[in-house]
Amino acid sequence: MTPEIYLDGNATSPVLPAAIAAAVRAMEDCYGNPSSSHSTGLQAKALLDGARRRAVRLLGVGQGRLMFNSGATEGIQTAVLSALCALRERRQAGEAIGTLLVYGATEHKAVPEALAHWNRLLGLDLELRKLQVDSDGRHDLQALRALLPHTAMLCTMAANNETGVLSDIAGIEVLLDECASPAYWMVDCVQALGKFRLSLARSRIDYAPFSGHKLYAPKGIGMLYVREGAPFTPLIVGGGQEAAQRSGTENMAGVAALDAVLAALEQGGVFRSHDALCTFRERLAASLRRALPGVVFNAAFEHSLPTTLNFSVPGLSSKELMDVFDAAGVRVSSGSACSAAKAAPSYVLQAMGVPDWRAASAIRLSFGPLADEAAIARACERIERCGAALRASGLIAPDGSLPVQDGVQQLGSGGACSWLVHDAASRSCVVIDPQPEFMDRIAAQVRGQGCTVLAVLGTAPGVDLAAPGRALNVAYGAGDTFGWPAADGLLALGGQALRRVLVDADGAQQAVYLLGRPDAGALPQSAARHAFIGTLAPRQLDGLVHGDTLLCAASDAQQPFCSSLHASAPESGGSQGELHLDAAALQGLLRAHPDALLVDVRESHEHLVGVQAPQGGKVVSVPLGQLAGQIPEWMAAPVPLVFFCRSGNRSTRAAQCLRRLGYAQAYDLAGGLALAA
Ligand code: PLP
């Protein structure tokens, strides 16, 4: 397994060895309850008090409150609850409190969610208002000036978790003073801790939440600062711990670990200086520029944390970039960790008004102040390896010399699909059912391959393909058959040919294209290896195809990839037997069947950055888009096939498809390469 290079520090960090040691000590030697009055309890209390004193010194808390809690989400709730309870009381006492709860458009979701939740629960009925940011991601201070006279609470962040953009906290403070605003002010300091010096009591900030796991402490420990005199209402009541500010027996292992991190910050010499971090950022940026032509950085370096680079690459989606980085062992993220699993483009980048393609392609690379020369050098080398793999697979820098593989290629899965049929020898291809969302990709691919598009064909009745036909330089045609030779003829494509058949479907004529090796100028049903069937159901294909013809639809939402007349229904799961193999089962299979193939269904650029065969078996690369093209060969000479990918998602779908088609010896590697380490 490729050793990991962790560049997702804004999501969470590894734990500082000194913090691990401190946590272990707290559990082994200092396990008392700090509320107990015996000696064991007193020792724990001393640890807790010492940690608090250090945090108070380091953050410049002055006479304010500093309480330990579970993390920033809790700190945010407590701050919002405290401010909103005070606002409710003031309003009930007849005071004008303003009408708005204002929050920065790029805040972590915990902030607007907490505002909406407590506003509703407390029956305040204030209006939540987003404070817009400019194209640099910084708050619009003019807009804020206009809002302040009506603002009851203001929530801004010190540094953004997705882009690293630093807010103009001093500028906001000046505005609050100039407008003599009585608004309560929360500043989310999660991404600021350890990156620059804080002196909270000297500022006008009322509430500042912190989170341990963003700076080398474990998850589940955080802190909340509350300015002296700022209203406070506990979120959790009970045994009166933390001076009755946050009840519940303290997470002493977490406190000890956080204290070790704060000690390292206080003593210096452990974390890199700002200048050193800026140099690391320059080196990473230079590698990204070399590896990924046209890379655009989504936040200006002069206004952002040196530890965060947010970038986009023309022509590549976040997912494609994430996948290739992950395959190379480089852990980055496609936005904040909370939203990384969702496909939606980043609301932070959208708020900055970045073009859609950049929001859809964005990657966040973030490291921590513990990074060292060697780790950055390794990261740069891997980034450049990713660039080379993307070039070799044709995803970037197309130059007309990219390889063309014979066969059928599918674009899109889980919804609308387009299909391409290639002939490598003549560098030509045919496009079937070109979906608008894949047109850019198809055009870039055929340009990169220097391929001639012979025809652009549609299956749907009445579809007009003039636009894609022209975009792909097909010389002639009309309606759904751009480039089709003659009404009933065959379109030759190397040794294969396409035959067009019209099927009456609910009173309309839908086209079906059969693909196979012609015999004496004809392509009988028995010779059709693939059929591009548009939206027809298998029962509408009677007499057109044979039982094993692979049916390639214009949408594979129901039957992922392809099906056949012999295939079983998707819900039946195909032929019997365990589909998922764990490491031990895979070993057993490889021992019993040395001819078994391990099929890497990740994209070819993911494969190219290097893969160690799980259990050392024989590996072939068949990205999902080429699955339908490859299946007939496997069917002709079956051997056990074990599909694998990063997480097990893609490989499960591939194995299920083969099982449905009656291929009994298809399996997937459970949990993917992520768990095979
Ligand atoms: N605020 C910011 C800016 C963050 O980055 C995060 C974590 O992603 C949070 C708040 C929530 O922190 P926690 O995970 O400690 O609840």
The CATH number given to whatever domain includes residue 324 is: 3.90.1150.10
* Predicted local distance difference test score (pLDDT) of residue 341: 47
Domain identity same for 139 and 235: yes
**Residue having the nearest C-alpha atom to atom 13 of ligand 1:** 72
* Predicted local distance difference test score (pLDDT) of residue 336: 45
**Residue having the nearest C-alpha atom to atom 9 of ligand 1:** 72
Distance (Å, rounded) from C-alpha 403 to C-alpha 422?
Answer: 11
* Predicted local distance difference test score (pLDDT) of residue 338: 44
Number of domains into which the chain is organized = 4
- On whether residue 42 sits in a domain, the answer given is no
Domain identity same for 592 and 466: no
Distance (Å, rounded) from C-alpha 179 to C-alpha 80?
Answer: 22
User: Which of 108, 160, 346 should be mutated for ligand 1, with most atoms under 8 A from CB?
Assistant: 108
CB within 8 Å of 384: residues ≥ 6 apart: 287, 290, 291
Q: If you measure from the C-alpha of residue 630 to the centroid of ligand 1, how many angstroms do you get, rounded to a whole number? A: 45
Out of 30, 85, 189, 338, the active site residue is 338
Domain identity same for 172 and 302: no
Report the CATH number that the domain containing residue 552 is assigned in CATH: 3.60.15.10
- On whether residue 400 sits in a domain, the answer given is no
What are the Cα distances from residue 483, in Å, to 278, 311, 453?
A: 55, 40, 9
Percent helix / strand / coil, the chain, rounded to 5: 40, 20, 40
* Predicted local distance difference test score (pLDDT) of residue 486: 67
* Strands 222-226 and 296-297, sheet pairing: unpaired
Find the Cα–Cα–Cα–Cα dihedral 595, 599, 604, 608, rounded to 10°: -60
Please, what is the end-to-end C-alpha distance for the chain in angstroms? 6
Distance (Å, rounded) from C-alpha 316 to C-alpha 452?
Answer: 23
User: Which of 155, 190, 348 should be mutated for ligand 1, with most atoms under 8 A from CB?
Assistant: 190
Around ligand 1, the residues with Cβ closer than 6 Å are: 71-73, 108, 110, 157, 161, 188, 190-191, 211, 222, 336-337
- On whether residue 33 sits in a domain, the answer given is no
* Predicted local distance difference test score (pLDDT) of residue 408: 96
Query: Hey, CA dihedral for 247, 253, 255, 256, is it positive or negative?
Result: positive
Which residues is 492 bridged to in the sheet? 497
Atom of ligand 1 nearest to the CA of 110: 10
Distance (Å, rounded) from C-alpha 85 to C-alpha 2?
Answer: 52
Domain identity same for 242 and 152: yes
Domain span holding position 288: 5-10+272-392
Domain identity same for 447 and 554: yes
Atom of ligand 1 nearest to the CA of 71: 15
* Predicted local distance difference test score (pLDDT) of residue 360: 87
* Predicted local distance difference test score (pLDDT) of residue 505: 85
- On whether residue 20 sits in a domain, the answer given is no
Domain identity same for 182 and 240: yes
**Residue having the nearest C-alpha atom to atom 16 of ligand 1:** 73
User: Which of 10, 111, 211 should be mutated for ligand 1, with most atoms under 8 A from CB?
Assistant: 211
The closest of 558, 506, 565, 513 to 534, measured between CA atoms, is 513
Question: Which of residues 188, 212, 246 is at a domain's end?
Answer: 246
Report the CATH number that the domain containing residue 71 is assigned in CATH: 3.40.640.10
Q: If you measure from the C-alpha of residue 270 to the centroid of ligand 1, how many angstroms do you get, rounded to a whole number? A: 24
* Predicted local distance difference test score (pLDDT) of residue 339: 46
Q: If you measure from the C-alpha of residue 213 to the centroid of ligand 1, how many angstroms do you get, rounded to a whole number? A: 9
Q: Which long-range contacts (CB under 8 A, 24 or more apart) does 551-556 make?
A: 552/408, 552/410, 552/417, 552/419, 552/432, 552/628, 553/417, 554/416, 554/417, 554/433, 554/435, 554/459, 554/460, 555/415, 555/416, 555/417, 556/410, 556/412, 556/413, 556/414, 556/415, 556/417
**Residue having the nearest C-alpha atom to atom 8 of ligand 1:** 11
Q: If you measure from the C-alpha of residue 511 to the centroid of ligand 1, how many angstroms do you get, rounded to a whole number? A: 53
* Predicted local distance difference test score (pLDDT) of residue 101: 98
Distance (Å, rounded) from C-alpha 311 to C-alpha 386?
Answer: 15
CB 364 within 8 A of CB 310: yes
Q: If you measure from the C-alpha of residue 380 to the centroid of ligand 1, how many angstroms do you get, rounded to a whole number? A: 28
Residue 340, SS3?
helix
CB within 8 Å of 616: residues ≥ 6 apart: 590
Domain identity same for 419 and 543: yes
**Residue having the nearest C-alpha atom to atom 7 of ligand 1:** 11
- On whether residue 426 sits in a domain, the answer given is yes
CB 589 within 8 A of CB 640: yes
Domain identity same for 87 and 168: yes
- On whether residue 31 sits in a domain, the answer given is no
- On whether residue 34 sits in a domain, the answer given is no
Domain identity same for 440 and 553: yes
338 flagged as catalytic: yes
Distance (Å, rounded) from C-alpha 208 to C-alpha 252?
Answer: 21
Report the CATH number that the domain containing residue 620 is assigned in CATH: 3.40.250.10
* Predicted local distance difference test score (pLDDT) of residue 479: 75
* Strands 100-104 and 296-297, sheet pairing: unpaired
Domain identity same for 481 and 602: no
Question: Which of residues 392, 415, 432 is at a domain's end?
Answer: 392
- On whether residue 37 sits in a domain, the answer given is no
All residue ranges of the chain with pLDDT < 50 are 336-342, 573-574
Look at the block and give the residue holding tokens 């700022």: 230
Distance (Å, rounded) from C-alpha 300 to C-alpha 388?
Answer: 26
**Residue having the nearest C-alpha atom to atom 10 of ligand 1:** 72
The closest of 424, 397, 425, 386 to 408, measured between CA atoms, is 424
Find the Cα–Cα–Cα–Cα dihedral 507, 511, 517, 519, rounded to 10°: 50
Domain identity same for 301 and 377: yes
Q: If you measure from the C-alpha of residue 9 to the centroid of ligand 1, how many angstroms do you get, rounded to a whole number? A: 12
Question: Which of residues 341, 361, 392 is at a domain's end?
Answer: 392
Q: If you measure from the C-alpha of residue 190 to the centroid of ligand 1, how many angstroms do you get, rounded to a whole number? A: 6
Domain identity same for 71 and 199: yes
